[in-house]
Structure 1
Amino acid sequence: MVFLYFFLGLFLGALLVFLWTRSQVATTAQKLSADLAVAKSQLETAQKNAADSVNAEREHSQKLLSEMQKQMETSKKLMQEEMRTMAAQMLSESREHLNAADKERLDALLKPLHERIEAFNQNVTAATKEGVSNKTEIKTTFEETIKLLQEVQTSTVKSIREDNERAIRELRQQTERIGNDAASLTQALKGDTKMQGDWGEMILETTLESCGLTKNEQFFLQRSYQDEKGNSFRPDAVIDLPGGEHAVIDAKVSLTAYQAAVNATDATEQELFLKEHIKSIKKHVDELSAKNYETIVPNCIGYVLMFIPYESGYAAAIKTDPAILQYSYRKHIILLSPSNLLMALQLTRTMWQNYRMNKNVDEILHASNDLYDKFVSFGETFLKIGTGIQRLQSDYEKAHSQLSEGKGNIVRRLENMKSLGITPKKELPEGL
């Protein structure tokens, strides 16, 4: 009889250890479910979180992961140790009193639960690591995307508003100012070819800057180039275009003959001076064409822009000899007046704006695609953890049913042993 009491004591002790371990596993599963709900809530409010919240969340998740792993590892080791101890003692000390049916029921009860807990522990470890990493990356990518969208939106709206307000006004003001400058400087420049060239270059630079282009970034003055023979050339200005292409602009001034034509009182004399004016412009065209800037400057658009910085002189030349445009074009030269140049530069500025906007759109699309992929990965991890919890809950319910429900369940058989005369000091929990 003493041996029976001893055996029952050992069996009850092992059973209590098993029940305590089962309670720890259920508590861990509940805690994991709560942590998953917190993680989902934090993801939905990621945009409002500052950098401090992200760091704090990362530390919290890492700490939670470490604690969870420690608890699961401790529970697993404790359960394994207790099961081995219980099985060894029961087999060695109570082999006569434990029939084959009881042994099979006990093994069937413990083995699936042990396997499920082992698999769930591995899934939780891997999935939680992946979830923490994905959540951090999703927050970072999402915040960067929102910031980029806001910057692009602000920049685009501001640029469009400014362009609409001043584009037409600048065209008119620049044309009038250049015309006035040409008239006021006519006497000072008359007969001085070097001064005329310097004045044309100054007007060209002012016009480029007035149209919103940035010096040494979108246009360059007097940049040096060499031909195949090693000869150096310095065009007045080179404009960088989106896509790596370049446009060469050279200012040419022919004031002497034109001023004489303006001051002439006789129609015949005026016609002669205008022909001299045409001849002077053609001379500039020939000289500029001979430099072959379109072949010397890398990725040149194929034509050189010749800037005539006074509107009236350009108009008089076109009126006197309309064929001068075709003459220039055949030599890969395009004649531009101040108003034509302003429109061309406004178009260039618009091209740069569109280029930047398209580049920003590409970056936004890339960031958005990356954000979407990260969210998909997080969702898969989230569902994987949920499936693991459901499986553990199912195994728990099955084990509970085998323990305390149905005919011949272990709890009922233990309670029936009291009628045989055993007097345990403790009672089984009411929940069993």
Structure 2
Amino acid sequence: MNGYLILAFASAVVAVAAVAWALWERSKGRMQAENARVQAELMSSQVSASAAGVAEAILKKNEEAIHNREQLAQARLEAQLKPVAESLQKFQEHVALVEKARAEETGGLKEQIAALLLASTATQDEARKLSSALRRGAGVQGRWGEQTLRNVLEQAGLSSFCDFTEQASTDSEEGRRRPDVIVKLPGGGVFVIDAKCSLNAFLELQEAASDLAGEEAREAAGLRHVSSVRGHVAGLSAKAYWDQFDGSPDFVAMFVPLDSALAAAVDRAPTLMTEAMDKKVVIVTPTTLFALCKAVVYGWRVEEQAANARTIAELGRELYKRIATMGAHAGSVGKALEAAVARYNQFVGSLETQVLTQARRFEELKVDHEGRKVELLEPLDTAVRPLAKLPTEPPPQVRLVKGEDA
């Protein structure tokens, strides 16, 4: 029994040992697996750390390279853009100067515009006053037209003292006529200017409104203005001033003191100028009359030059006569001088041969002559320069500008 117990105990011990061995082996396997797992995790962590470090180093190097390239590119870009920046700086400075000058000019322009507006307002006020004054009656318009006509004539160079006559009365078969101005022409001619032209309808035309009703009023006033001008042309043509003055051209000048007034009439009646010329009336304005009077002034200048040429010819002829007379006197003086020289030489010869020879004998006889000596007289051998003979024929005739002989 004890043997069975011992065998059973031994079997039990062997079984326990086997179980313990199996458990130990199992736990050992587990420990090895755990160690392997830990080592694998450790290696994985080390590899991850190494890879992260390498990646971080690579990234750092890449970042440094990229930063260096960016700096280099930025430096190159700055070097390339530096001239552009300088040009932009100069352009900005130029723009600032231009803006400053523009501001100054704008200020000056505003002042000039303000002054121009003031002048325009003053001109409008004066024009309004003139329009009101001209509406007072035909006498005011007539005096204003006469004054404007006188100003144009004087500005052209004509003088009221000798070149034109104002308000000269003439008698004709139809009665007494009094033209406004008679302009004298070179050669004794004259032409007449009349300055009486009604401007009432023209003033109404200018003051009419710009709406539809005003346009109808403007058209009606324009037609009245044309009728007024035509009536004045007919009245001047009937006076026939050209028949009342000797040397007058066959026309009379009708003076309209405003160019715009004639333009308004011609705009509505294009044949107005032709109709007036057919009636021997030339319609003139300050502009055209100034040019016409300038031609008259030029004619007077030519006439004055011709008169001066005649005077110069007379003076030349008289001067030639006087020079001839003086030449004759000079010739007489020369002959007298030649005779005087001859007489002097004869006198010297006689004195030398007849008197001085005897006087020198006193020197030989030791006569006290108190230190005075008889001077030796030389005859004159210089001849008088003869005067060139003047021509005996009369001076040539001077041909004047107009073909007349002086």
TM-score relative to the length of structure 2: 0.49
Which structure: greater helix fraction? 1
Instruction: Name the larger-Rg structure.
Output: 2
TM-score, normalising length: structure 1: 0.47
